[in-house]
Structure 1
Amino acid sequence: MPDPMWGSPLDDRDPTTVGPYTVLRVLGQGGMGRVYLARGLGTRLYAVKVIRPHLADEDGFRARFIREASAARVVSAAFTAPVVEVSPPDAELLWMAVAFVAAPPLDTLIERAGILPPGGVWWVAAGIAEALLSFHGAELVHRDLKPANVLVTTDGPRVIDFGIVKALDAVSTTSTHVMGTSGYMAPEHIRGAAGPASDVFALGAVMVFAATGHAPFEGPSAGDVLAQTLYRPPNLSGLPGELADMVGRCLAKETEARPSLSQIFEEFGHHRDRTFTPHAAASWLPATALAVIEDFGSPSSMTPTAPFQPPATTRPIAADLQERARAAQAL
């Protein structure tokens, strides 16, 4: 049974090792690959993302993935779960290992604790903006900023899952698919030209979600959501008035109308200066949210209910992932 932090047990198609890492659980999967909870040579835990073989076979993808994922390693660990290791260029499979952070994603936090008050939204937004400043300074653009990619710890949010989306965009150019998440992608990103301002747009969308529980653009299908993003104003129902101005500017259709990260910090400063203990999560987040965060990091929550049982199979992981890809395409 899936666990919010520990994921799902392995099945007989999952590998027992990826590079030097021992695979323990399945944390998640998507169109780009499968993410495993793994143990290093010692006792530390890592999230190891394995890229699907059909993506790795695209022209130029392998070199670009290695370059972008390696560049992501320079971003400060204060703002993200740091990239620890990247697969060798000649490896059969492409993978990246990221330090495992025992903290709830923002979407899980909102689901369990409810929406955040305006102060909590500002606290999360300022932490994300600081992370983006670090990313952009390293000439990286996240391109898939969304609630699921923001881990909320008591010392601030950690933005994860960057360093590979830009490489995936190179593949999408030839496959006519744009890599990202509908509802959080900027108009220029949908059109295939994402840049730093696109991350600011996504930040505004994340602020809407944190404050209201819904994305600013929704619809019955991804196509409907993308069309709304391109041509319709965002749905800001339920958004507190003190957030509306900044969020509305972040969600501007034109990149030049969006605020810079420095302007976001300046606005946050007005709220921070009114807070008695400005750097403590307890000053910004409600007790229900703090309880969820504490539960994720507690020893009882971090202890699996049953010992990990490695699968008996020794089938090559490439064959396993190719089989999964064929099954997904058939569906």
Structure 2
Amino acid sequence: MTKSRKPMENRAPFTREEISMEVRRAALGMASMIAAFGQMQGQLEVAAQYLGVELNDYDYHGDDTDKLMGIPIEKHFLHRVVMDAYDHAYQVGPAVTEGVDWDERAHEVAGILSGFPQTDYNGEPSPLDRLNPQKLRQVLDTFNARYMLDIGLDLTIAELALLANMGESAVRTSLSNEGIKTIVGTMKGEKNQVRNEEAMTWLLGRRNFVPTKRFGEQADNVSDVIRSLFNSDSLPFEVALTKALKTTTSGGDEPLQQAGIDPRFVEELLSPNGSVDVDVAKLERLAVALQAPVPIFVGKAVTAILTRREADT
């Protein structure tokens, strides 16, 4: 049976609708504080103006679905920042290809995580509560982890776990097996970290990690990412090829067409049951189109093709 690749929209552990609902709840928590601690006269009106809708009260009460659905959250800048962070964290959606200023978004995400109320006025946890983290906080933490990886910072075990979609104990075991050691954080109280280069190499060997698509001045880094993919001994050829295609083609076939590569040839290469002839010249053109190291790419491709044939006999 042919294995299908994971659809782009299924890369994220949560749907946009789930996150939008939690953004509404976070906004309601802010309104609750405004209503409680605003000016002695008119604080309820200010809370309503902030939310964009007048409510009977501005606190959490169990199942608040009806109340939350009345909030026009798409008009809030908070919602735009979170949705962009969602797209970037999981490499899905329009923000990935729209050239968003991720430095600016990182600054705004930090403001949300540190500045938004973590409870409502009555102490009921919001989706941003550090002690009771929910889906929204996980999305923003994953965005931060990817941003830190991309700008060359070291990552904690928790951040690696978010990007690899693994449990922290499984990450520790994998790092130990691969001989990767953590280093002490540079700031007091900071958790142990994995050096950026080692973190990237390790992540590229995980099936569920999706490399960041590069644009503009970042495009020069693509070849480094692709080289790491095919140099990784722990990454099967088909998985490395899938990640390389996602990194370089942005969902289109233009680079393949320019190299004279039929997309069906690539589909057969990706399929565990695909029947492909060993065409070294075509494999070399594909490697060049993907900016992959040609000898390593061709060698691994031929090995994968011959291994399939042997398994079928």
Query: With structure 1 as the length reference, what TM-score do the two structures score?
Result: 0.30
Where relative contact order (Cα < 8 A, 6+ residues apart) is larger, the structure is 1
Query: With structure 2 as the length reference, what TM-score do the two structures score?
Result: 0.32
The structure that has the greater radius of gyration is 2
